[in-house]
């Protein structure tokens, strides 16, 4: 059956573009001057070789806007925020906020864009701080770095989500360089309404202690106790799977799901879910079509290799998966065909607004097409109910779902 009108689309992976006052409005007076501020690129800055720090990234032109933070220039303001552009004009720009739709940085304009797309609610990741807030890890001034994290979280909860509580699921970031502070910030933000926390898909490439060290257990314990899932967006480890130095962007764009596979395998063979049986993880933007292959492969490896390696001997990885891990799809026909091998309960839908993978403004239309042959109750689980359960998102719904 087609997607029914009463089913609300809840997207589990979208992105905000931070507006110029996110930090100016919130940092304490003593830190505000050195906190993130949006500045225009000058001739001198271009001469120093400014470019977008992505593979294939474009040079940043004079007149572009960049973030200035504690004397350092960060050229990523809205990477790939191209919603609504014709495909001929995709790229790593835009370089100025006036080149993106207001829905990128204005929560009310975003609601209007959701309405155009037939979407009820979104879970939004940050842009400038990177999807798991890892930008702040390398800052020398840790007091300023912590204040930047807290200001972002306050913006997300008090301004962005508060603008339309029935349309947004609040996701926060952590001061990842300090695990004790991360626990405190997670406590603090859960206290004011956070329903999800961004966590890097891999810690070793970031120079942080891995999930095997046990050092993150206090953070995991808080997340488990509050039923707040860890959202591990692909790319947040800073690693990109590329085969050649000269590979064009489509190579790594296609392969980013491999990062989610690494995360999935690493989590399922680790002690994390044995220690925290209530902990949930979302593999944000990871896709789902690879999951049946990986679960079969992991079970095969578990069967062949558990006797001589230091892994759990009692529970096959595929069983652990269905108790802990959630995937999401944009329009993944293979994954939907194999949904019973993944577990219908483990699948959510995502819109990825305003990035180039997004189907906006045809999100609901495209979802209806790829879900056309799936029974209603399974569709409802995947587009709405699984996300509501996972994120404890029970906001009163007054807006009828557009078709």
Nearer CB in complex with a second copy: 218/238: 238
Q: Check binding of 340 to a second copy (CB under 8 A).
A: no
Give me the DSSP letters along 142-159.
HHHHHHHHHHHHHIIIII
Cis peptide bond prior to 354, omega within 30° of 0: yes
**Helix, strand, coil % (nearest 5) of the chain?**
40, 10, 45
Q: Which residues does residue 38 pair with via DSSP β-bridges, in sequence order?
A: 67
Nearer CB in complex with a second copy: 266/378: 266
Question: How buried is 274 (Cβ within 10 angstroms: 0-12 exposed, 13-18 middle, 19+ buried)?
Answer: exposed
- CA 18 to CA 355: how far, in whole Å? 15
Q: Check binding of 362 to a second copy (CB under 8 A).
A: no
The mark string for 79-118 relative to a second copy (x by CB under 8 A, - otherwise) is --------xxxxx---------------------------
Question: Which of 165, 249, 361, 402 is the binder for a second copy (CB under 8 A)?
Answer: 249
Least distance from a second copy to the Cβ atom of residue 320, Å: 13
Nearer CB in complex with a second copy: 170/292: 292
Q: Check binding of 302 to a second copy (CB under 8 A).
A: yes
Least distance from a second copy to the Cβ atom of residue 285, Å: 12
Q: Check binding of 396 to a second copy (CB under 8 A).
A: no
Nearer CB in complex with a second copy: 112/333: 333
User: What is the SS3 assignment for 171?
Assistant: strand
Least distance from a second copy to the Cβ atom of residue 333, Å: 6
Nearer CB in complex with a second copy: 341/394: 341
By CB under 8 A, the residues from 131 to 170 that bind a second copy are: none
Evaluate whether 234 touches 286 at the Cβ level (below 8 Å): yes
Structure tokens at 114: 């959701």
Q: Check binding of 374 to a second copy (CB under 8 A).
A: no
Residue 105 CB coordination number (10 Å): 22
Least distance from a second copy to the Cβ atom of residue 367, Å: 15
- CA 30 to CA 8: how far, in whole Å? 45
Nearest CA to 333 out of 375, 300, 368, 289 is that of: 289
Nearer CB in complex with a second copy: 215/227: 215
According to DSSP, the β-strands at 72-74 and 65-69 are antiparallel
Nearest CA to 249 out of 58, 50, 75, 94 is that of: 58
Residue 180 CB coordination number (10 Å): 11
By CB under 8 A, the residues from 185 to 204 that bind a second copy are: 201-204
Q: Check binding of 212 to a second copy (CB under 8 A).
A: yes
Nearest CA to 266 out of 243, 252, 287, 283 is that of: 283
Q: Check binding of 261 to a second copy (CB under 8 A).
A: yes
DSSP single-letter state for residue 205: G
Evaluate whether 58 touches 52 at the Cβ level (below 8 Å): yes
Structure tokens at 152: 């972002």
Q: Check binding of 314 to a second copy (CB under 8 A).
A: no
Q: Check binding of 227 to a second copy (CB under 8 A).
A: no
Nearer CB in complex with a second copy: 98/246: 246
Candidates 59-67, 182-190, 251-259, 276-284; binding stretch for a second copy (CB under 8 A): 251-259
- CA 302 to CA 295: how far, in whole Å? 10
- For 379, what's the count of Cα atoms within 13 Å in the CB-facing half-sphere? 20
By CB under 8 A, the residues from 19 to 78 that bind a second copy are: 56
Q: Check binding of 300 to a second copy (CB under 8 A).
A: yes
Q: Which residues does residue 72 pair with via DSSP β-bridges, in sequence order?
A: 69
Question: Which of 39, 112, 333, 372 is the binder for a second copy (CB under 8 A)?
Answer: 333
Nearer CB in complex with a second copy: 151/288: 288
Nearer CB in complex with a second copy: 285/384: 285
Residues that bind a second copy (rule: CB under 8 A) add up to a total of 69
Least distance from a second copy to the Cβ atom of residue 92, Å: 9
Q: Check binding of 245 to a second copy (CB under 8 A).
A: yes
Phi, psi of 216 (to 5 degrees): -85, 0
**Site residues (CB under 8 A) for a second copy?**
56, 87-91, 201-204, 210-213, 237, 241-251, 253-255, 257-258, 261-263, 265-266, 269-270, 287, 289-290, 292-294, 296-298, 300-302, 304-311, 317, 331-335, 337-338, 341, 356-357
């Amino acid at each position: 059956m087609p997607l029914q009108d009463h089913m609300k689309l809840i997207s589990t992976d979208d992105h905000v573009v931070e507006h110029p006052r996110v930090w100016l409005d919130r940092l304490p007076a003593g830190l505000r001057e050195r906190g993130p501020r949006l500045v225009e690129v000058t001739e001198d800055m271009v001469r120093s070789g400014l470019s977008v720090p992505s593979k294939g990234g474009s040079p940043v032109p004079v007149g572009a806007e960049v973030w200035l933070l504690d004397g350092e220039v960060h050229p990523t303001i809205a990477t790939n925020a191209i919603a609504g552009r014709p495909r001929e004009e995709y790229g790593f720009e835009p370089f100025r906020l006036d080149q993106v739709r207001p829905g990128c940085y204005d929560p009310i304009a975003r609601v209007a864009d959701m309405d155009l797309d037939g979407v009820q609610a979104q879970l939004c990741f940050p842009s400038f701080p990177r999807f798991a807030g890892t930008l702040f890890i390398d800052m020398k001034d840790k007091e300023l770095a912590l204040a930047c994290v807290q200001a972002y979280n306050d913006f997300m909860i008090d301004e962005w989500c508060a603008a339309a509580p029935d349309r947004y699921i609040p996701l926060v970031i952590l001061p990842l360089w300090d695990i004790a502070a991360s626990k405190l910030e997670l406590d603090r933000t859960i206290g004011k309404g956070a329903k999800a926390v961004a966590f890097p898909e891999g810690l070793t490439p970031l120079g942080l202690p891995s999930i095997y060290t046990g050092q993150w257990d206090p953070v995991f314990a808080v997340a488990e106790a509050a039923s707040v899932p860890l959202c591990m967006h692909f790319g947040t480890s800073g690693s990109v799977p590329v085969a050649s130095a000269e590979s064009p962007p489509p190579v790594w764009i296609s392969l980013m799901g491999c990062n989610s596979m690494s995360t999935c395998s690493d989590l399922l063979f680790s002690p994390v879910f044995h220690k925290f049986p209530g902990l949930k993880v979302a593999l944000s933007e990871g896709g789902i079509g690879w999951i049946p292959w990986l679960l079969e492969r992991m079970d095969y490896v578990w069967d062949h290799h558990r006797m001589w390696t230091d892994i759990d001997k009692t529970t096959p990885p595929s069983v652990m998966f269905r108790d802990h891990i959630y995937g999401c799809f944009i329009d993944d026909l293979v994954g939907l065909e194999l949904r019973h091998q993944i577990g219908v309960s483990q699948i959510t839908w995502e819109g990825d607004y305003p990035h180039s993978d997004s189907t906006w403004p045809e999100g609901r239309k495209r979802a209806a097409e790829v879900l056309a042959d799936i029974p209603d109750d399974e569709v409802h689980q995947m587009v709405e109910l699984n996300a509501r359960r996972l994120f404890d998102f029970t906001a009163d719904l007054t807006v009828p779902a557009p078709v």
